[in-house]
Amino acid sequence: MNLFRNLFSSSIGRKFLMAVTGLVLVGFVTGHLVGNLQIFMPPDQINGYAYFLQGLGPALWAIRLFLLACVVIHVWAAVVLTLESKAARGPEVYGVKKWLRASVASRYMRMSGVVVLAFIIYHLAHFTIGIPGDETYKGALEHVVLESDVREFGIPLASAGTEVHDVYSMIFLGFANPLVSLFYIVAVGLLTVHLWHGADSLFQTLGWRNAKWAVGLQRIVAVYCILYFLGNLAIPGLILTGIVQPAEGTAAAVQLLAQR
């Protein structure tokens, strides 16, 4: 009990909580990207994948609540640590800020965090709950029938003939909207900056970074963040520019054709 209380009452404990929840959230956004990239595969793949997730039922809600708890703890720890840092510096106002000591990522950490939080709320409303009055999904959430079995890394997700939501069309139509795509790209860019600084700090807090591994870990973080951003950029970018077209016969193809 004392260990649990110390995690929330001490600066070291809060830094540890921030690092651990950050690690969980990095895993989530990575998995989320891998799942979304299935939009470039035949429609059955991402529709079957979404059907499998929805079929988890209570387990899916348990995962959602766990991730929500991680977000809340992560944000709370960040806010408290920031206030403690300001209080420790006292009321003195510095005439010249020491910008050269801070990386670009660390300077905009708080700003990017606020925008990312707003993005998460909007993204959930747009692609999970649905925004009232939004015509993007007209006909997109109609049920379609899978034409083939769907597997992920050899694991069966859904069988041919299963009736599922047309998530494929929902995503295509969502990113066909320039404003949605632009906001998504900006938010993901800020999330990438947030991850870049956060992952580096995470290694230090958890004691995984030392003089021997510091440069190597920084390179790994840099490569991961660049690939993460490019992977997310590809989805709205290729859809919005028309380089990738929706599969023939899908609700997305029909609706986009009718708008031309």
Residue 195 vs residue 113, higher pLDDT: 195
Residue 224 vs residue 211, higher pLDDT: 224
CA distance from start to end of the chain: 63
Mean pLDDT calculated for residue range 178-188 = 86
Beta carbons of 224 and 140 less than 8 angstroms apart: no
Would 137 be classed as within a structural domain?
Answer: yes
Unique residue bearing structure tokens 């694991």: 155
Would 96 be classed as within a structural domain?
Answer: no
Mean pLDDT calculated for residue range 79-84 = 78
Would 93 be classed as within a structural domain?
Answer: no
Condensed to tens digits (0 to 9), the pLDDT of residues 197-208 reads: 777 777 777 777
Task: Inform me whether the pLDDT recorded for 151 exceeds 70.
Answer: yes
Residue 34 vs residue 116, higher pLDDT: 34
Task: Inform me whether the pLDDT recorded for 110 exceeds 80.
Answer: no
Percent of the chain topping pLDDT 70? 73
Q: Is the pTM of this model over 0.85?
A: no
Would 97 be classed as within a structural domain?
Answer: no
What CATH number does residue 26 fall under?
1.20.1300.10
Unique residue bearing structure tokens 């290694």: 203
Would 106 be classed as within a structural domain?
Answer: yes
Beta carbons of 171 and 46 less than 8 angstroms apart: yes
The one-letter code for the residue type at 93 is V
Rg over CA atoms, the chain:
21
Would 26 be classed as within a structural domain?
Answer: yes
146 is in which domain, residue-wise?
A: 2-88+102-259
Percent of the chain topping pLDDT 90? 22
- What one-character-per-residue DSSP string does the chain give? -HHHHHHHHSHHHHHHHHHHHHHHHHHHHHHHHHHHGGGGS-HHHHHHHHHHHHTTTHHHHHHHHHHHHHHHHHHHHHHHHHHHHHHHHTTPPPSS--GGGS-HHHHTHHHHHHHHHHHHHHHHIIIII--TT-GGGTTTTSEEE-SS-EEETTEEEE-TT-EEE-HHHHHHHHHTSHHHHHHHHHHHHHHHHHHHHHHHHHHHHTT---TTTHHHHHHHHHHHHHHHHHHHHHHHHHHHTTSSPPPTTSHHHHHHHHH-
Dist CA 240 CA 146 (whole Å): 26
Of the listed ranges 79-93, 116-130, 178-192, the one predicted with least confidence: 116-130
Dist CA 197 CA 213 (whole Å): 17
Residue 206 vs residue 108, higher pLDDT: 206
Confidence class for position 74, pLDDT limits 50, 70, 90: confident
Condensed to tens digits (0 to 9), the pLDDT of residues 229-251 reads: 999 999 999 999 989 999 988 88
Count up the domains in the chain and report the number: 1
pLDDT at 130: 52
Mean pLDDT calculated for residue range 121-127 = 63
Mean pLDDT calculated for residue range 116-131 = 62
Would 95 be classed as within a structural domain?
Answer: no
Confidence class for position 95, pLDDT limits 50, 70, 90: very low
Average pLDDT of every residue of the chain: 79
Which has the closest alpha carbon to 112: 185, 192, 53?
192
